[in-house]
């Protein structure tokens, strides 16, 4: 730890996770610019639902590839430089969307955006593992995850407002894409590791490093970090990967298709989308914070990490089938409320599932395991989102919403069966 004198205060870890929160918020504003403006862009570029689904799939393909690569990158070059690489790539890509002239260029820019944006999640998981003790990790994850929900809340009115001001959709991509570069100025001023951070007190450092058992495990394996092949010999890794393969498509469905669903099924215009599309994400934000708080509260009351995580994850999985009902209501507000229940449940679920790499593995492997989980999430979401476009063009949204409602319980069962008891791994599982 840096013992030099100077300005110090307790709570540096909250400042650090606050920065990750804002990175995630910007990530979602950049990501949602296309989906919010989809009715305009599809009309301007003469795109079908299937073609739009294909464009979204290019993003997810890159996102999938980059999740594991980004996890390894963060483990190799560290959190500060890792976030810098990710944000520069996705910010440039977001701005390039302004120059799209058709499906090919838009697909290419979307692909580059996915390469950059993927790094945010393994980077955030590694940041939480580095800066928070086990009992606070879920809440740390909740704070950064709430950036996704709040980004989704503020994105529609911001995006529509900018577009209305300039009168064209392409200026919007330039402005939203530039936000990441502003964030980087503060990131390079604020971030350093716990061992070297000049603002960190010894009291807070000792709290961050208070997990004695984890420290012993880390010390035993730190000399030889686990590679992808070795990590895939653990059933815990496969539990995380397959669960996210099955459940993450639920989130991506609404992120990608909600504005078009409201437009095509419930007749919303761009103004109405700006006024109402953010509503389910208020519930998502509440779910993120609640999920993090609840598991931490239970652990603080004496529950084991194993019991607390599983109860919260199981509870969340029971909420997400509410999306099935949204397929059968003709009332737009009822549909939005039911989707809100789904997204609340998803954020509770993902917030705790994303702590599992740190619960199972040493810090040196957290980024890699989180990246592998993100790869599973990306593959599942890519398949689902592409299929959605074809199903909507040929049938309706109903089969998609019903299928999405069943994925969370199935994925959670798979997770519980494969991962077993939540504790630090001690050896390979054959």
CATH number where 108 lies: 1.20.1250.20
The verdict on residue 7 lying in a domain is no
pTM assigned to the model: 0.78
- Burial of 406: CB neighbours in 10 Å, binned 0-12, 13-18, 19+: middle
| Position 425 in a domain | no
Q: Judge whether 36 lies within some domain.
A: yes
**412 within 8 A of 349, measured Cβ to Cβ:** yes
Residue numbers of the domain that contains 340: 12-419
The closest alpha carbon to 87, from 24, 146, 13, belongs to 24
Identify the CA nearest to 173 among candidates 155, 186, 154, 185: 155
The answer to whether residue 427 is domain-embedded is: no
In a domain, 430, yes or no: no
pLDDT per residue of the chain (430 residues) written in tens, 0 to 9: 666 557 788 899 999 999 999 999 999 999 999 999 998 999 999 999 999 999 999 998 998 888 778 878 888 899 999 999 999 999 999 999 999 999 999 999 999 999 999 899 889 888 988 999 877 887 888 888 788 888 988 999 999 999 999 988 989 999 999 999 999 999 999 999 999 999 999 998 998 888 755 555 444 444 456 677 788 889 999 999 999 999 999 999 998 999 999 999 999 988 899 899 989 989 988 998 898 889 889 988 999 989 999 999 999 999 999 999 999 999 999 999 999 999 999 999 998 998 899 889 887 787 788 878 888 988 999 999 989 999 999 999 999 999 999 999 999 999 999 999 988 886 543 3
Phi and psi of 9, rounded to 5°? -160, 155
Domain-embedded: residue 262:
yes
The two tokens of residue 429 are 């599982």
Q: Is the residue at 407 inside a domain?
A: yes
Q: Is residue 315 part of a domain?
A: yes
**What's the total number of domains in the chain?**
1
Q: Cβ contacts of residue 161 below 8 Å, gap of 6+?
A: 274
């Amino acid at each position: 730890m840096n013992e030099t004198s100077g300005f110090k205060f307790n709570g540096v870890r909250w400042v650090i996770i606050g920065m990750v929160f804002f990175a995630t918020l910007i990530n979602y504003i950049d990501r949602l610019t296309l989906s919010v403006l989809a009715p305009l862009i599809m009309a301007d570029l003469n795109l079908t639902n299937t073609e739009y689904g294909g464009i979204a799939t290019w993003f997810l393909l890159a996102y999938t590839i980059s999740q594991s690569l980004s996890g390894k990158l963060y483990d190799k070059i560290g959190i500060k430089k890792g976030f810098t690489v990710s944000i520069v790539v996705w910010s440039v890509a977001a701005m390039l969307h302004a120059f799209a002239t058709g499906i090919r260029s838009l697909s290419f820019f979307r692909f580059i955006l996915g390469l950059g944006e993927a790094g945010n999640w393994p980077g955030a998981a590694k940041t939480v593992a580095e800066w928070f003790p086990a009992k606070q990790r879920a809440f740390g994850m909740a704070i950064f995850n709430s950036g996704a929900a709040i980004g989704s809340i503020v994105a529609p009115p911001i995006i529509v407002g900018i577009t209305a001001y300039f009168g064209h959709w392409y200026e919007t991509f330039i402005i939203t894409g530039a936000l990441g570069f502003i964030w980087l100025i503060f990131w390079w001023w604020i971030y350093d590791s716990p061992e070297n951070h000049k603002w960190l007190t010894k009291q807070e450092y000792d709290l961050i490093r208070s997990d004695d058992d984890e420290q012993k495990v880390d010390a035993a394996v730190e000399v030889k970090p686990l590679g992808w092949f070795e990590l895939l010999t653990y059933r815990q890794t496969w539990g995380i990967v397959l669960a996210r393969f099955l459940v993450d498509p639920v989130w991506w469905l609404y992120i990608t298709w909600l504005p078009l669903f409201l437009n095509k099924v419930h007749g919303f215009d761009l103004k109405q989308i700006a006024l109402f599309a953010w509503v389910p994400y208020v519930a998502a934000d509440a779910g993120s914070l609640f999920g993090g708080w609840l598991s931490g509260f239970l652990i603080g009351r004496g529950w084991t990490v194993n019991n607390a995580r599983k109860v919260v994850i199981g509870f969340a999985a029971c909420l997400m089938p509410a999306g099935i009902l949204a397929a059968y209501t003709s009332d737009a507000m009822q549909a939005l409320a039911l989707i809100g229940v789904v997204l609340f449940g998803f954020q509770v679920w993902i917030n705790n599932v994303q702590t599992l790499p740190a619960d199972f593995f040493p810090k040196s492997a957290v980024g890699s395991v989180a990246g592998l989980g993100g790869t599973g999430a990306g593959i599942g979401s890519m398949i689902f989102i592409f299929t959605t476009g074809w199903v909507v063009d040929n049938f309706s949204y109903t089969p998609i919403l019903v299928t999405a409602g069943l994925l969370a319980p199935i994925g959670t069962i798979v997770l519980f069966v494969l991962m077993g008891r939540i504790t630090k791994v001690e050896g390979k599982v054959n």
